[in-house]
Structure 1
Amino acid sequence: MSNSHPSLDLPDSASTRLLTRIRNEVAAFSFTPRGAVRCIGLPMFRTSVARDVGCLLDLDPFVISWTCLPLVLSRRNRRHVPDFAVTRATGTLVVDAIPASGQAVPPQWASDAAERLGYGYEVHHESNLRGDVRLENARDLLQYASYRVSLGDRLRVLTLLEEHGSMPLSACLQVVRNSDAIGVIAALALRRFIEIELDEARIGPETRVSPFRG
């Protein structure tokens, strides 16, 4: 996916200048966790809720990739840069994250502008993410976004799951030789070798782990 798209009403140079300015401003912001696994280009977030949505995108099995601040949506002389472009097998959509403070609310015409470019459009409200168990688990896993797993540990975990099916996390940890066993499991989940149950409760010893089926 390209990091730059033409807008409807602006010349390409104007879109490029706008995207460059916004990306330069946002590059100074920092939100945790800092890692990402399916982001094309630099992970850049205008708000903490955008960072949260990025966490969920990384753990969404239907998301192929996502890009931050990807394009300009425009209508007449008005312009808007959405938080993400997200590629799924079913197509690409642009996504906005809306803080509870009411700041950075996208214009009402953003959906129509996205559709005119051939994209779907979604919004995620911070109020709907508060207390979300999946989000908290995604935050925990993404602390290991850059963790490298040895071939041996990967094969030991995958062999266990192929032979026995779904297993509790505690059983998977026992076959890992690395001293940071949870880092191994987290990294394998982030890279879709395995699946971890994320929606029932916070990750713990009894959390179910399964081979990734897609």
Structure 2
Amino acid sequence: MFIRRVMVMKTDIAHAGDDARDFRKIYRPRLPSRTIKCVGLALFRSQRARDYACVLDLDRDVVSWRCIPKAIVNDSGAARPQWWHVDLAVETTSEKLLVYVAEGAGGSPTWMTGRAERMGYRYRTVSIHEVGQTRLRNAVELIEYARAAAPLGDRIRILAALDEAGSLTLADCLSAVRESQPMHTVATMIVQGLLLVDLDEALLGPETVVRRAPK
């Protein structure tokens, strides 16, 4: 549990004194180092939070996410308010979320729901075990390979082949790459939303079906 007691803090997020130095020790960069939709520094409380952020990067409904490397303080007005660590602030196409990525079920303090609402968010606890493990592994592996851009020539070759055939296997797409590293290029095109693969059915392999995303 991360509930602690601190002396009076007047802001929404704890950021001063010895406790703040302790907070910073909790959060650090974790692999994979590349992010797609992250705003600000990528500092994570746990590896499970980092892995979940990879899933967010591939979620079409997610606009952006950012890490929250400081504690949220209860604004109850108590002389010794409680605080709580969350992992991510997520903006989707329909709402804003404060997300706590848990190892198991539950565990959040009851006041966090109301506190998040007053900050303009909906509070959500996510158990990493509830996330599809196939999707989770595929997302992590794709983000590890993804680069900033796919070369124009390789991109045109793959998209033209898909326009002609309707779908290709992942192995076919890799074979079409001429100007760069094949897996990096195809992974980047998937992450950028140019190509569609089923992340839930099975781990990505040579027979994985690849389609062009709707224009």
TM-score normalised by the shorter chain: which range applies? 0.7 to 0.9
Computing the radius of gyration from Cα coordinates, the structure with the larger value is 2
Residue 16 of structure 2 corresponds to which residue in structure 1?
17
Aligned residue in 2 for 1:53: 52
Alpha-carbon distance in structure 2 between the residues aligned to 1:85 and 1:46? 13
CA contact (8 A) 2:14 2:73 kept: no
Query: Could you give the per-residue CA deviations for residues 92-128 of structure 1, whole angstroms, max 9, x where no partner exists?
Result: 111110124x8x9432221221122221121111332
* d(CA) in 1 for partners of 2:184, 2:23: 31
Which residue is 2:130 aligned to? 128
Q: 1:212: Cα distance to partner? A: 2.4
| Cα distance change, pair 209–21 in 1 and its aligned pair in 2 (3 A) | farther
8 A contact 1:73–1:114 mirrored in 2: no
Partner of 1:89: 93
Alignment-derived partner of residue 195 in structure 1: 196
Q: How many residues align?
A: 202
**Residue aligning to 1:67:** 66
Q: Conserved in 2, the CA contact under 8 Å of 1:23 and 1:69?
A: no
Shift of 1:38: 0.7
TM-score with structure 2 length normalisation?
0.81
Change (3 A) 1:21 1:213: farther
Separation in structure 2 between the aligned mates of residue 21 and residue 201 of structure 1, nearest angstrom: 42
CA deviation profile, 1:160-197 (whole Å, cap 9, x unmatched): 22333232212212221135211110011112222221
Deviation readout 1:42-68 (Å, 9 max, x if unpaired): 111111111121111111111110000
Distance 2:38 2:20 in 1: 18
> Root-mean-square deviation (CA), in Å?
2.8
1:31–1:48 CA contact under 8 A, matched in 2 = yes
Aligned to 1:159: 160
Which segments of structure 1 move beyond 6 Å, counting only runs of 4 or more? none
2: distance between equivalents of 1:91 and 1:137?
Answer: 26
Cα–Cα, structure 1 residues 206 and 25, in superposed 2: closer, same or farther, change >3 Å?
same
* Distance of 2:22 and 2:169 partners within structure 1: 45
Mean Cα deviation higher: 173-182 or 150-159: 173-182
Question: Residues 57, 23 of structure 1: CA spacing in aligned structure 2 closer, same or farther, 3 A cutoff?
Answer: farther
Bigger mean CA offset, 169-178 vs 183-192? 169-178
* Cα displacement (A) at 1:78: 1.6
Q: Is the 8 A contact 1:68 1:85 kept in 2?
A: yes
Return the TM-score normalized by structure 1: 0.81
Alpha-carbon shift at residue 36 of structure 1 (Å): 1.1
Provide the rounded CA distance (Å) in 1 between the counterparts of 2:9 and 2:197: 45
SS at match of 2:66: strand
